Amino acid sequence: MSLPPAPHLFTLTGNLLAERTLTFPTWTPGKTQRAITESFQVGGKGINVSKMLNRLGAPNTALCFAGGATGAESETWLRAKGFTFRVFPTRAASRSGIVVRSHADGQPETTFLGPDVPPDADAIISCASYLDAQEDGQALALCGSFPGWSEASFDPLRSALEKWLERGKLYADVYGPPLAWLFERRVDLIKINADELLPLAPDVTTLPRNALAKRWVVTNGPAPVQIRELTGAVTSLTPPSVREVSATGSGDVLFACILHGLCRRGMSLTEAVVFALPYAAANAAHPGVAEFPEPIA
């Protein structure tokens, strides 16, 4: 039996990051440091997810809010890297960040993030209108933090998501106020780490009755991943063991591979996690996001 047409995947990044990586032979706090290399990349969970989807050959559109010089630089980078994307312009400059890496053993990668930048009301309205205009049956992944989510300015986006729940697939890897809002809605999947779940429930076996999400994936670093299927059955899978270089973006790589398995390959959730885990582990064993050698099956 042939599979139904795969939905188009949209990722929505609520908190874009214009990020520079500085690499040093070694570095010491409190002293002037001189980097040996510098690079620029765009981060934010949805961008990372789209980057991995691109690598997997899964058609997708990255949606984000961007403004100012940092937003313009991010748009240039996305275009140069071949992303299909749509920016909803904001007046405030997008947040910036710095990743510091060292060649010295024992100096872990360190990330410094600038203040969160909430999108303005006009950008939120533009995003909501864009989502409302999409055809039924598509898939949307909400990714990361959404500064300002609890404000009235987000009402149009929340309304658009309520409508999306009735006519498409909605997946989420979010935390904070958006997670609390989605917790009580029948989203197709919530992927979350154990620390983020803890304020809502001890684990996926003890979810309260108001937890309406259809399926769950709960990660906990190198510890086993908990999976709750549509039936309510819970299983655990242990990630491959690797020497961690940088955990940054590994959860986003996992989420992208799960989405690819569910939406493009017709897998069950457990099958999709089995497919995704080697990619996430390979990401943790290398610097960067979705830039690792192909994992060995």
The dihedral of CA 259, 263, 269, 270: what is its sign? negative
Task: State how far the Cα of 22 lies from the Cα of 222, in Å rounded to an integer.
Answer: 27
Tens digits of pLDDT across the chain (297 residues)? 455 678 999 999 999 999 999 999 998 888 898 999 999 999 999 999 999 999 999 999 999 999 999 999 999 999 999 999 999 999 999 999 999 988 887 788 889 999 999 999 999 999 999 999 999 999 999 999 999 999 999 999 999 999 999 999 999 999 999 999 999 999 999 999 999 988 888 888 888 888 889 999 999 988 999 999 988 899 999 999 998 888 889 999 999 999 999 999 999 999 999 999 999 999 999 988 999 998 765
Residue 4: its pLDDT value, please? 65
Residue 275: its pLDDT value, please? 97
Question: What tokens appear for 118 in the block?
Answer: 């909430």
User: At the topology level of CATH, where does 188-290 sit?
Assistant: UDP-N-acetylmuramoyl-L-alanine:D-glutamate ligase (3.40.1190)
Report which of 161, 156, 159 is spatially closest to residue 142, judged by C-alpha positions.
161
From residue 167, how far is each of 68, 137, 140, 162, 178 by CA, in Å?
A: 34, 6, 11, 9, 20
Report which of 50, 67, 69, 48 is spatially closest to residue 59, judged by C-alpha positions.
50
Give 222's DSSP letter. B
Residue 228: its pLDDT value, please? 94
- H helix or E strand, kind and range, residue 76: helix 68-80
Residue 133: its pLDDT value, please? 98
Residue 1: its pLDDT value, please? 46
Residue 208: its pLDDT value, please? 86
Task: State how far the Cα of 19 lies from the Cα of 155, in Å rounded to an integer.
Answer: 29
- H helix or E strand, kind and range, residue 164: helix 155-167
Task: State how far the Cα of 42 lies from the Cα of 173, in Å rounded to an integer.
Answer: 18
Residue 6: its pLDDT value, please? 87
- Domain residue ranges of the chain, discontinuous segments joined by +: 188-290
Question: What tokens appear for 32 in the block?
Answer: 């002037």
